[in-house]
């Protein structure tokens, strides 16, 4: 009962989801009056960010909303799923130009699985090629049933670039929040979710978090399943240091002893001893999970050891997912090392154990000691800032390194009509090409009543008593065959070549 009395209304946490380039970041840019897209490689958001904004409700009261900006690229579905878990309301953004895409459906399925309410924002209505009605019908055909069109999912028409309909969208978010009655207990110690983590060369290990309940104060200890931090450096999403913060707020914590796992929950404690006890219990649970999930690679073929280094932990998950899709029975990548930060000397030493190893970096660099060591080891290292370029390169690696097989390809068949002179190793025959072609240097199999008797090689080929290099289907010819097998009328000479595939 005391817990109920302490509960208060908390601001909603809203996740923006949808296909790449449908306007998620542009929408947040308009709301925040900042520019995220301009600093992103290729114009694609590639890490989760959280922002708190203040809006006026219909009664002119100030209301807070926390927005999560999730990546739109397909590779980051794990990060998008994590965003949905952290959120209370989802906005599914769809372009009125491009309509419904595969990633739109994937994002919607993630929302449904998370069980949170959804608002559809049909964006880019200002564009000349916008087709709002077609977009609505496409959504319905894909099972996203809009309000007023046979379903109960509300939708708003917007232009994230021009600002059209944005106030309607914000009002709908506030209405949803009031209907859902999101509450929290400010008297409890804060708990929430790690949204992003990274190693800052100047400040150490830091993480972006969303507080889902309770209050966090400076001087407390925050623990995840693998990391701990004293909240001496506690910042809001603007980077300003604060002393206390409560639920739904995005915060940054600086000074973790290890890089916390992205998507992990955190709990705050008044003492370090309590925090360490929490970590110990979490590790015991994780060890059990590791035993079950150990060695997922099932390939019996070639294995390429790979080391992954990125700027933020969440990107590692995205790359791991792409690698899982590329792996097959013939060849597979095995991750032997991964982490946040620059490619360093230790990475090169680990890779140097196997000359087949490769090292990839994403939005990071190779430090000088690693470069110097690699001059002698010659490990293949590649740095990327666009996810699809990284994936394309990995595909090339798989194609270039996959095990080759020698395949026999039949190029043509000849039916023997007559036999002429023969010696121990050479036979002269006449016949007709019944399919494909026969060349003057073809290797052949000698087949009698569907049984292979042996092999040979054509040393000379004639048509109309004239030497020729090739005879095609339907033509008769004479040929000299180098073989120790006796050839008889009715035999089939099957020309073949060995191809490496």
Partner residues linked to 216 by β-bridges: 245
Which residue's structure tokens are 């998008």? 80
Domains and CATH numbers, the chain: 7-182 (3.40.50.300), 191-287 (2.40.30.10), 302-401 (3.40.50.10050), 406-500 (2.40.30.10)
Q: Which two tokens stand for residue 227?
A: 């990391």
Question: Residue 309 is inside which H or E element, if any?
Answer: strand 302-310
From residue 485, how far is each of 325, 477, 488 by CA, in Å? 50, 20, 10
How many other C-beta atoms are found inside a 10 Å radius of the C-beta of residue 432? 15
Residue 241 has a pLDDT of: 92
Calpha distance 341→365 (Å, rounded): 8
* Residue 22 · residue 98 · CB < 8 Å: yes
Nearest to 490 by CA among 412, 414, 417: 417
Q: Which residue has the tokens 């055909």?
A: 141
pLDDT per residue of the chain (501 residues) written in tens, 0 to 9: 445 567 888 999 999 888 878 888 888 888 877 444 444 555 555 555 788 888 887 788 888 899 987 665 656 566 666 666 788 999 999 999 999 998 899 889 888 877 788 999 999 999 999 999 999 999 999 999 999 888 899 999 999 989 999 999 999 999 989 888 888 899 999 999 888 888 988 899 999 999 999 999 999 999 998 899 999 999 988 888 999 999 888 999 999 999 998 888 899 999 999 999 888 887 776 665 555 445 444 456 789 999 999 988 888 888 998 999 999 888 999 999 988 888 988 899 999 888 899 999 999 999 888 998 999 899 999 999 999 999 999 999 998 988 877 788 899 999 999 998 878 789 999 999 999 999 998 999 999 998 999 999 999 999 988 999 999 999 999 999 999 999 999 999 999 988 877
Q: Note the pLDDT of residue 258.
A: 93
Query: How does DSSP assign 180-225, residue by residue?
Result: HT-EE-TTSBPEEEEEEEEEETTTEEEEEEEEEESEEETT-EEE-S
């Amino acid at each position: 009962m005391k817990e109920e009395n302490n509960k208060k209304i908390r601001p909603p946490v809203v996740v923006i989801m949808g296909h790449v380039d449908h306007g998620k970041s542009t929408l947040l840019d308009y709301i925040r009056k900042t520019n995220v897209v301009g600093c992103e490689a290729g114009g694609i958001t590639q890490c989760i960010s959280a922002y708190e904004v203040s809006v006026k409700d219909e009664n002119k009261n100030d209301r807070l909303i926390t927005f999560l900006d999730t990546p739109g690229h397909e590779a980051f579905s794990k990060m998008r799923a994590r965003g949905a878990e952290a959120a209370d309301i989802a906005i599914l953004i769809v372009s009125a130009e491009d309509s419904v895409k595969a990633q739109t459906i994937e994002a919607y399925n993630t929302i449904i699985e998370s069980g949170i309410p959804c608002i559809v924002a049909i964006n880019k209505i200002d564009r000349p090629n916008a087709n709002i009605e077609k977009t609505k019908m496409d959504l319905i055909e894909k099972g996203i049933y809009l309000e007023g069109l046979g379903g109960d999912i509300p939708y708003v028409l917007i232009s994230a670039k021009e600002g059209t309909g944005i106030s309607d969208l914000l009002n709908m978010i506030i209405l949803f929040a009031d209907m859902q009655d999101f509450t929290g207990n400010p008297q409890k110690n804060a708990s929430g979710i790690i949204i992003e983590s990274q190693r800052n060369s100047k400040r150490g290990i830091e993480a972006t978090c969303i507080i889902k309940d309770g209050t966090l104060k400076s001087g407390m200890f925050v623990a995840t399943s693998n990391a701990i931090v004293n909240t001496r450096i506690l910042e809001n999403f603007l980077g300003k240091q604060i002393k206390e913060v409560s639920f739904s707020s995005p915060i940054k914590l600086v000074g973790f002893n290890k890089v916390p796992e992205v998507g992990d929950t955190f709990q705050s404690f008044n003492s370090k001893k309590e925090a360490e006890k929490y970590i110990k219990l979490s590790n015991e649970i994780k060890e059990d999970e590791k035993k079950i999930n150990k060695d997922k690679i099932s390939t019996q073929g070639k294995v390429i050891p790979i080391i992954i280094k990125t700027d933020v932990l969440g990107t590692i998950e995205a790359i791991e997912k792409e690698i899982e899709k590329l792996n097959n029975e013939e060849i597979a990548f095995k991750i032997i090392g991964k982490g946040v930060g620059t490619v360093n000397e230790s990475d090169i030493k680990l890779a140097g154990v196997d000359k087949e190893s490769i090292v990839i970096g994403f939005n990071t660099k190779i430090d000088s000691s690693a470069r110097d060591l690699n001059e002698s080891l010659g490990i293949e290292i590649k740095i990327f800032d666009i996810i699809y370029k990284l994936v394309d390169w990995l595909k090339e690696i798989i194609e270039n390194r996959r095990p080759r097989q020698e395949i026999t390809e039949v190029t043509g068949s000849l039916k023997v009509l007559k036999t002429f002179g023969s010696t121990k190793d050479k036979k002269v025959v006449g016949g007709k090409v019944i399919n494909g072609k026969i060349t003057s240097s073809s290797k052949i199999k000698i087949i009698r009543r569907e049984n292979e008797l042996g092999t040979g090689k054509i040393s000379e080929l004639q048509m109309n008593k004239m030497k020729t290099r090739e005879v095609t289907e339907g033509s008769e010819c004479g040929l000299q065959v180098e073989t120790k097998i006796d050839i008889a009328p009715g035999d089939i000479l099957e020309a073949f070549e060995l191809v490496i595939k």
